[in-house]
Structure 1
């Protein structure tokens, strides 16, 4: 259903949460699977003057953040008290806008990296932006129902683009007031719909579509009896902060892996996924040896929507889907790789897309009625964002007046005993980032896990 004006005020817009967007709520003051997008920025040419004073660049980012809200009002939309609808309020004054910025934009002057900030972030109604002067990092943090993995990268890219467009006037102290310069109220035409509404997904399905929805929901049953890796504590241990370790392949290794995988008829994601399965088997809890491994297959739904959904124009939305796949302990690396390659290569059928409302709605019901598992899951899963340059540029502006993006990153907040490997390519380098909760795993354990993935994929693909 589309956005409508709320009865209590013409300044409030609302729509129902889509079945893919249902907010899971907050556990112990934290938010499982909240997403973090990062970019390391560097001013170039004349814009290097922005580094001459500690307050200049944060002020420009603050101003551009307000303009980003105007371009993407959904970053300021949040669930209502019933957790059934999303609401967005149009600012009525400059004070309203300033108040929103004070709650959502933070300069972390003492932090040396985003890894120090992420574990401290508490749930918030709207998306938040952090800037770390010591590391020159931008951190966009939001609930996962609001944004998929593509969304945050598109938004960070547009934020830096806005910084470029405003920098000259800012350096001359000629920036207009952000409230007066934007036609507030007109931005509501850019509030994003749910996937089911954007794709005109029907409320009823035929027999073939129903079968696909049920089969996809059924894959979540593969989690039962699957292996896990060792963790600290027991079933009642309370989670702590989310941590991460990162491994970057050299450009030469990445190129060699790509070529070797291609010669085997594989994509890099399927090859890494197969090595991840192998390492899960190798690191499994002793009592789990011989069990199968269950992991997710994730797809962006954006390519199946109108073209603008792959652009910054409709960035602030959640358009992603997932199901589970099984790998058996007795199978070879090549067997695993072929299974994953088929999953990633096949794409999404029209019947699956047309059944997505049924699928997502059914899945919500299943999750609400799940019993507490006898064994907490603790496997290491995977998600690939592919080539980040599809969503944001390496350089913005011109060499003499612009910004470079040296590094990007993506992770989620992890409150369970599971871990997640997020992989992407940027500036011709392949990066694996493994996120975990520090109450259950150590950085040493997870670093060894990543190192074993690297060793395995180089060995399996015979890369020297």
Structure 2
């Protein structure tokens, strides 16, 4: 896809394959005035001496840093209009409008998580400062960013904040606003260099992926949920648990000694929890895959875009925990043939979108309720804890879930292993129903306990 100048000061481009799928998913609950899949990241920060400053001064510095950030990442200003991506060239007027629309201070909230629940269907990303908790919240639709991209954006933001905190803004080199459009993010398919038109081999690969995602993985065990197919979504919620550094290191070492990853062990523990409440013999779920290592250039070149995909992995009830872990570890490393997959991205996402639309229209299958797994790895590689006198004390990431499939995030930051599950309260929180009972077994604490207990007994 190619950005084209539609009129003076305005550039447009078509949604590419992955963007189109993620955009369609984000709009699936629009009738409820809610957005599915939007990504948010929360950092509690501290400004160390001698740059220590109060909330009012910090909020102004954050506003300035956010303004400068759009020069590095102009895709933060891209919006959807008429079914296309649209970008307005930078000038003093639209820069001011963009900042006013996308940055604010929430003096009423006690914590950033209180703000997240009301951020839906926004035209643009946003940055919110919560003075009571000294937290910075970044929120963005999933079609324009993914989890690690959000980390990269915040990493650069805090670099700029440090520069502004120790230097008068007027003494810094001014951004080259007139060159901003040259740095618009490439789509996943363009970044990899996929052929614009399908070929027999890419169509064959797309069909293989479709079968893996929709045929071979069905039927699958899933969580029991409250309500039926007509039940409207409620608010997205999350539950999180973080191990201390010593406990994190012990668990990571124990997994490595047995030849599998922590992600595989946690994935297996969640599978065991779901299978315990199901009569199905198999459990299938999607695992997010970061595709940046397969793209040319550094991570910062792929901050504002969706450079992930989802690979379905299936487990048999008859296998034991260790077999699951080894199977998953091997699968994560490439049983999906990464080279052929990347070549076929446009075909894969076209077929995937068509299949999802067909299934939604027919209603032939009940809503899926398996648990998506998203392992972010070591966050410190993308978001450094220390930026001069600006320190990121805590980190949290999540997404808005409007369906019945929770997302289980796994990451470490500052040496602490964290599990966090995002889910929708309408299906798993109300009263004493089966949905709540089922989810309680799959929430972070029991999953982590199961992981630690089993790892400790595997020979």
Give the alignment's TM-score, normalised by structure 2: 0.91
Q: CA deviation at 1:232?
A: 2.3
Q: CA deviation at 1:63?
A: 0.8
1:349 aligns with 2:338: yes
1:276-303 superposed Cα distances (whole Å, 9 cap, x missing partner): 1111112x3xxx3234211112211111
**What do you get for the CA RMSD once the two structures are aligned?**
2.1
Q: CA deviation at 1:204?
A: 4.2
| Contact 1:105–1:128 (8 Å) recurs in 2 | yes
Number of positions where the alignment pairs a residue of Structure 1 with one of Structure 2: 441
Which residue number in structure 2 is paired with residue 326 of structure 1? Answer: 314
Distance 1:279 1:360 in 2: 31
Which of 117, 120, 136 matches 1:119? 117
| Contact 2:206–2:344 (8 Å) recurs in 1 | yes
| Contact 1:394–1:404 (8 Å) recurs in 2 | yes
| Contact 2:149–2:303 (8 Å) recurs in 1 | yes
After the TM superposition, which residues 67-146 of structure 1 pair with which residues of structure 2 at under 5 Å, given as runs?
A: 67-81=68-82, 83=83, 85-93=84-92, 95-146=93-144
Which residue number in structure 2 is paired with residue 442 of structure 1? Answer: 429
Which residue number in structure 2 is paired with residue 420 of structure 1? Answer: 407
1:457 aligns with 2:451: yes
Change (3 A) 1:177 1:122: farther
| Contact 1:70–1:187 (8 Å) recurs in 2 | yes
Which residue number in structure 1 is paired with residue 46 of structure 2? Answer: 42
Q: CA deviation at 1:373?
A: 4.6
Aligned to 1:414, what secondary structure does the other structure show?
A: coil
Which residue number in structure 2 is paired with residue 33 of structure 1? Answer: 37
Distance 1:386 1:229 in 2: 26
Distance 1:185 1:361 in 2: 35
| Contact 2:219–2:280 (8 Å) recurs in 1 | no
| Contact 1:217–1:323 (8 Å) recurs in 2 | no
| Contact 2:236–2:402 (8 Å) recurs in 1 | yes
1:411-451 superposed Cα distances (whole Å, 9 cap, x missing partner): 11000122111010111110000111111112975555322
Distance 1:193 1:354 in 2: 16
Distance 2:365 2:328 in 1: 28
Give the alignment's TM-score, normalised by structure 1: 0.90
After the TM superposition, which residues 193-342 of structure 1 pair with which residues of structure 2 at under 5 Å, given as runs?
A: 193-204=186-197, 207-221=200-214, 222=216, 224-282=218-276, 284=277, 288-308=278-298, 310=299, 312-342=300-330
Distance 2:310 2:287 in 1: 6
Gaps of 5+ in 2: 431-435
Q: CA deviation at 1:148?
A: 1.6
Which of 377, 380, 386 matches 2:371? 380
Q: CA deviation at 1:92?
A: 2.9
1:64-115 superposed Cα distances (whole Å, 9 cap, x missing partner): 101111111101102222x2x211102332x322221121112111212222
Distance 2:306 2:133 in 1: 29
Aligned to 2:163, what secondary structure does the other structure show?
A: helix
Deviates more, 1:449-458 or 1:222-231: 222-231
1:183-221 superposed Cα distances (whole Å, 9 cap, x missing partner): 322111100111111111113455544332211122221
| Contact 2:289–2:311 (8 Å) recurs in 1 | no
Change (3 A) 1:165 1:447: farther
Distance 1:35 1:219 in 2: 26
Distance 2:113 2:317 in 1: 34
Which residue number in structure 2 is paired with residue 191 of structure 1? Answer: 184
Aligned to 1:158, what secondary structure does the other structure show?
A: helix
Distance 2:151 2:74 in 1: 16
Aligned to 2:391, what secondary structure does the other structure show?
A: strand
Distance 1:319 1:425 in 2: 20
Distance 1:265 1:335 in 2: 11
Which residue number in structure 2 is paired with residue 361 of structure 1? Answer: 350
Aligned to 1:342, what secondary structure does the other structure show?
A: helix
| Contact 2:386–2:392 (8 Å) recurs in 1 | yes
Change (3 A) 1:408 1:5: same
Which residue number in structure 2 is paired with residue 62 of structure 1? Answer: 63
Which of 15, 18, 26 matches 1:17? 15
| Contact 2:90–2:180 (8 Å) recurs in 1 | no
